[in-house]
């Protein structure tokens, strides 16, 4: 029986784009409903930003406040920056890592208006790479012109000292095949379990192809009330110890979270 679940893909805030949102107490209720012990928070994509960088700073402040208030449930989090904000985004990377003490950055380029491999993204990632231990949650989508997996491979190769988490990397079979190729090519790219397709045991395929050590549980809360991805792991034809690794041990190792 799985004793712990650490979720590396949970969002906090309100998405004006997708008309979904959650506050801290609501997210804790969703986590409890799914028996998720801990979550690595990130701002919700598509938040309103009429005031530009100040709105982004407020998103990051909210993540840091949740981590400070509930360190037993939110051991750390990701900040975000908007590539469209240019030099202001670079300054915010410094604030995220030094002042807010968050572990890294989260991007969903479909909602941020530039491709993963845009020149400003390289500048942002270069600034982030200056901080040892930086982790970047990078959403991908096979159908997208802004965040296909091959673009993640380009930045992962350019910044080998950053650990990248490929967010929702298996929304269909082709997406998973591309994501597995990226992770085989780039040893600094992990996969999370958010929003995987549900046919023919994709978790077993990923473990068989890549091995278990770079696969992390993710729920994409609050977009869903219950995590079907949790069931995919529970019912996957893989050993119990591999399920433990996916549910929490890999994340505990990556983020330095003590568990027994």
> Is the separation of the CB atoms in 40 and 255 below 8 Å?
yes
Per-residue pLDDT at 246: 98
Residue 128 covered by a domain: yes
Q: Grade residue 258 by pLDDT with cuts at 50, 70 and 90.
A: confident
Q: What is the CATH number of the domain that holds 147?
A: 3.20.20.140
Residue 251 covered by a domain: yes
Does residue 260 surpass a pLDDT of 80?
Answer: no
Counted domains in the chain: 1
Q: Tell me the average pLDDT of the chain.
A: 96
Does residue 124 surpass a pLDDT of 90?
Answer: yes
> Is the separation of the CB atoms in 129 and 161 below 8 Å?
yes
- The proportion of the chain whose per-residue pLDDT surpasses 70, expressed as a percent, equals 98
Per-residue pLDDT at 259: 61
- Note down the domain range covering 240: 6-255
> Is the separation of the CB atoms in 250 and 39 below 8 Å?
no
Residue 89 covered by a domain: yes
Average pLDDT over residues 70-98: 96
Residue 260 covered by a domain: no
Say how far apart CA 14 and CA 217 lie, in whole Å. Answer: 23
Q: What is the pTM of this model?
A: 0.97
Q: Grade residue 131 by pLDDT with cuts at 50, 70 and 90.
A: very high
Distances (CA, A) of 161 to 100, 106, 128, 130, 206: 21, 16, 10, 9, 24
Per-residue pLDDT at 93: 98
Residue 171 covered by a domain: yes
- The proportion of the chain whose per-residue pLDDT surpasses 90, expressed as a percent, equals 97
Average pLDDT over residues 28-45: 97
Average pLDDT over residues 63-87: 97
DSSP of the chain: -----EEEEEEEEEETTTTEEE-HHHHHHHHHHTT--EEEEEEPTT---TTTHHHHHHHHHHHHHHHHH-TTT---BEE---GGGTHHHHHHHHIIIIIS---EEEE-GGGTTS-TTSHHHHHHHHHHHTSTT-EEEEE--TT-SSS-HHHHHHHHHH-TTSEEEEES--SSHHHHHHHHHHHHH-TTEEEE-TT---SS-HHHHHHHHH-STTEE----BTS-SS-HHHHHHHTSSS-HHHHHIIIIIHHHHHHT----
Average pLDDT over residues 38-65: 97
Per-residue pLDDT at 230: 95
Q: Which residue has the tokens 């998405």?
A: 15
Average pLDDT over residues 1-25: 91
Does residue 95 surpass a pLDDT of 90?
Answer: yes
Q: What is the dihedral of CA 163, 74, 6, 176, to 10 degrees?
A: -50
Q: Grade residue 3 by pLDDT with cuts at 50, 70 and 90.
A: low
Residue 226 covered by a domain: yes
Q: Which residues contact 106 (CB under 8 A, 6 or more apart)?
A: 42, 43, 78, 79, 80, 136, 137, 138, 139, 167
Average pLDDT over residues 139-145: 97
Residue 1 covered by a domain: no
Say how far apart CA 72 and CA 69 lie, in whole Å. Answer: 9
Say how far apart CA 190 and CA 186 lie, in whole Å. Answer: 9
Per-residue pLDDT at 1: 47
Residue 175 covered by a domain: yes
């Amino acid at each position: 029986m799985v004793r712990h679940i650490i979720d590396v893909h949970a969002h906090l805030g309100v998405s004006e784009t997708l008309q979904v949102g959650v506050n801290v107490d609501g997210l804790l209720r969703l986590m409890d409903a799914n028996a998720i012990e801990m979550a690595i928070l990130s701002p919700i994509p598509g938040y309103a930003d009429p005031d530009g960088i100040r709105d982004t700073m407020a998103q990051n402040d909210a993540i840091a406040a949740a981590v400070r208030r509930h360190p037993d449930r939110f051991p750390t989090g990701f900040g975000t920056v908007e590539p469209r904000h240019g030099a202001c985004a670079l300054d915010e990377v410094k604030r995220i890592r030094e002042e807010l003490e968050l572990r890294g950055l989260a991007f969903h380029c479909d909602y941020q208006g530039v491709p993963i491999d845009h020149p400003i993204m390289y500048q942002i990632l270069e600034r982030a790479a200056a901080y040892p231990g930086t982790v970047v949650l990078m959403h991908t989508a096979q159908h997208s012109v802004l965040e296909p997996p091959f673009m993640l491979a380009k930045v992962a190769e350019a910044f080998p000292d950053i650990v990248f988490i490929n967010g929702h990397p298996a929304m269909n079979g082709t997406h998973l095949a591309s994501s597995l190729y990226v992770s085989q090519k780039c040893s600094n790219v992990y996969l999370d379990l958010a929003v995987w397709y549900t046919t023919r045991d994709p978790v077993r395929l990923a473990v068989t192809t890549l091995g278990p050590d770079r696969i992390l549980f993710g729920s994409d809360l609050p977009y869903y009330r219950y995590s079907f991805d949790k069931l995919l792991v529970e019912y996957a034809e893989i050993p119990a110890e591999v399920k433990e690794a996916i549910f929490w041990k890999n994340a505990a190792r990556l983020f330095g979270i003590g568990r027994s």
